[in-house]
């Protein structure tokens, strides 16, 4: 099993969610987060005062999928989140040793 964590632009979240559902991802956890990568934020002017916005709003989507579904899920995120501009986000993939459904104690991929 693989855990996929994707940090994407808020404006691309609906497209990412739809693309993941289309490839068969059944569950995900979504967080509203703030952060920055290489773009390091930007400056804005509000009521005549200039200030720096260095932690930009993003959406973090986490899911655990079977090894066979991982490549399709990653491709779905790449295609739906990409704008070609700086700040599109990142995808992190890690191996999950065990998953357990609390309700009935199913284990492994059955628990997903």
The vertex-102 CA angle with 98 and 107, nearest 5°, equals 35
Q: 44 is written with which tokens?
A: 């804005």
pLDDT at 65: 97
- Render each residue's pLDDT in the chain as its tens digit; 112 residues: 999 999 999 999 999 999 999 999 999 999 999 988 776 666 777 778 877 777 889 999 999 999 999 999 999 999 999 999 888 999 999 999 999 999 999 999 999 8
Indicate which CATH number applies to the domain containing 96. 3.30.70.120
The number of folded domains in the chain is 1
Domain residue limits at 81:
2-111
pLDDT digits (tens, 9 = 90+) for 52-81: 777 889 999 999 999 999 999 999 999 999
d(Cα 64, Cα 108) in Å, to the nearest integer? 11
């Amino acid at each position: 099993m693989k855990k996929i964590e994707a940090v994407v632009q808020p404006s691309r979240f609906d497209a990412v969610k739809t693309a993941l559902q289309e490839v068969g991802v059944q569950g995900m956890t979504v967080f509203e987060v703030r952060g920055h990568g290489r773009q390091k934020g930007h400056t804005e002017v509000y009521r005549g005062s200039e200030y720096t916005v260095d932690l930009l709003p993003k959406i973090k989507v986490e899911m655990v999928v079977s090894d066979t579904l991982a490549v399709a899920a990653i491709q779905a995120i790449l295609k739906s989140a990409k704008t070609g501009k700086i700040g599109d986000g990142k995808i992190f993939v890690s191996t999950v040793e065990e998953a357990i459904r609390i309700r009935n104690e199913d284990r492994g991929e059955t628990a997903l």
